[in-house]
Amino acid sequence: MTGPLRKLPDFLIIGAQKGGTSSLFHFIEQHPAVRVSIAKEIHYFDLNYRKGDYWYRGYFPYAWDRRITGEASPFYLFHPQVPARVRQDVPGAKIIILLRDPVERAFSHYRMNVKDGIETLSFEEALAAEELRIGGDVDQMEADARYTGRDYRHYSYIARGFYDDQLSRWLQYFPRDQMLLLKSEDLFANPAPIVQQAFTFLGMDPDAHIGYDGKNEGKPGNIRPETRARLRLTFAPHNANLMAILGPNFRWDDDPLRTSAAG
């Protein structure tokens, strides 16, 4: 009921899932010039859009609060209908994206699903089943804006790592200078300069004192070598497209393209 009195977000952390969004949100919320949403993942633009603007505003500060505000919902990057919705409702919002090595991201996603009781297959079996599992959801999401795509969310281990496709979709609606693209591994290894970069992007004092205890920090997974090699080949053309958009920093150590270039 207080929705009309509340503001909409100044920034969105839109993904990628298992890329450090929880840590970055935790760091940003400590800045004295920020008051974030009362829940980290509101999932308005993907799962709850039918609930309307006033429902969404209810998660944010009152309009007279001069601090900036925002939220982090990692499915936003991957959901095909979200960029147009964000453009329509909060066209001035600054967009922050974290991109993690897609192989490690996929395995971290898998381990989370196993822990949560969502996944019962082995990693290799889950990868083999992915296209069949999510294909119907993709078709239905395109046909019905209200369909939230449960299997598409849960079992998209490989598809979520096609960052070039997802970023290209967002660039249809937002200019590049309205987005901050960060590498997850940089945040995991040394968060301070990455967080300061985010503060500067958001127009805040980059030297504000905050604590850098991590949340859900990403760690390399124990993936079978043959599975890792197969995934590297799957992701290689998409990583090449991503580098064409963002530059050479967005590639990963054992990417076949990097290895061949070095040789």
Domain boundaries, the chain: 3-262
Enter the pTM of the model. 0.92
User: Residue 263's pLDDT is what?
Assistant: 31
User: Residue 254's pLDDT is what?
Assistant: 60
SS3 call for 114: helix
| C-alpha separations of 5 from 11, 26, 39, 86, 89 in Å | 19, 26, 18, 20, 16
User: Residue 157's pLDDT is what?
Assistant: 98
SS3 call for 181: strand
Q: Give the contacts of 175 (CB within 8 A, at least 6 positions apart).
A: none
Q: Is the peptide bond before 16 cis (omega within 30 degrees of 0)?
A: yes
SS3 call for 161: helix
Cross-strand bridge partners of residue 97: 181
C-alpha closest to that of 226 among 126, 156, 124: 124
Low-confidence ranges of the chain (pLDDT < 50): 258-263
C-alpha closest to that of 250 among 78, 101, 76: 101
User: Residue 148's pLDDT is what?
Assistant: 82
C-alpha closest to that of 160 among 56, 235, 55: 235
User: Residue 213's pLDDT is what?
Assistant: 80
C-alpha closest to that of 96 among 237, 204, 208, 218: 204
Cα 187 to chain centroid, rounded: 14
User: Residue 256's pLDDT is what?
Assistant: 55
**Mean pLDDT over the full length of the chain:** 92
Residue with tokens 């603007």, as numbered in its chain: 53
**Which CATH code for domain 3-262?**
3.40.50.300
CA atoms of 160 and 152, how far apart (whole Å):
10
Cross-strand bridge partners of residue 62: 6
Amino acid at site 239: N
